[in-house]
Amino acid sequence: MKTQYTLLFSALAALLGLQSAQALEVDRKVMPRVTVGGRVIATPSASQLDGFAGNEDEDHNAIDISDSGLLLRFDKRIYETGVAGAMVGFTKPDQDSDLDDDVFFHQFNAFYWNKNYDVLLGRTRLPNTLIEFPTLRDDDLMTYTHALNLSSFAENDQYQMFGDIMSLGWHITPYTTASVWAGTRAETEPNGEKRDEFNMNSAGIGLVYVIPEELVYLKRLRTLGLLVDYQDVDDSVNDSSSNSVIAGAEFNLNNNPLANWSTGLQIIYSEGLDDITLLDANGLRRTASWSAVSSLRYTRRPKLLTRWQAGLTLAYKDYDDSNASQFSIIPSIAYRLGSGVDLIGQLSYTDLDDGIAAITGYDKETAVMVGLSFNFDMTFNDTIGERTSILDTEHNYITR
pLDDT tens digit sequence for 50-100: 988 778 888 889 999 999 999 999 999 888 889 999 999 999 998 777 787
pLDDT band at 129 (very low <50, low <70, confident <90, very high): very high
pLDDT tens sequence across 217-257 = 989 999 999 999 999 998 878 889 999 999 999 999 998 99
Q: Which of 227, 278, 217, 280 is nearest to 249 (CA)?
A: 227
Span 202-225, average pLDDT: 94
Span 22-29, average pLDDT: 50
Identify the residue with better confidence: 361 or 124: 124
Q: 12 pLDDT exceeds 60?
A: no
**CA pair distance 201, 241, nearest whole angstrom:** 9
Q: 130 pLDDT exceeds 70?
A: yes
- Quote the pLDDT of residue 28: 63
pLDDT tens sequence across 274-321 = 888 888 878 899 999 999 999 999 999 999 899 999 999 999 999 987
Q: Are 69 and 390 in contact (CB under 8 A)?
A: no
- CA 65 vs CA 46, 125, 137, 196, 260: distances in Å: 14, 20, 11, 29, 30
pTM of the model: 0.89
Q: Which of 155, 160, 161 is nearest to 95 (CA)?
A: 155
- Quote the pLDDT of residue 6: 52
pLDDT band at 178 (very low <50, low <70, confident <90, very high): very high
pLDDT band at 30 (very low <50, low <70, confident <90, very high): confident
pLDDT band at 1 (very low <50, low <70, confident <90, very high): very low
Average pLDDT value over all residues in the chain: 89
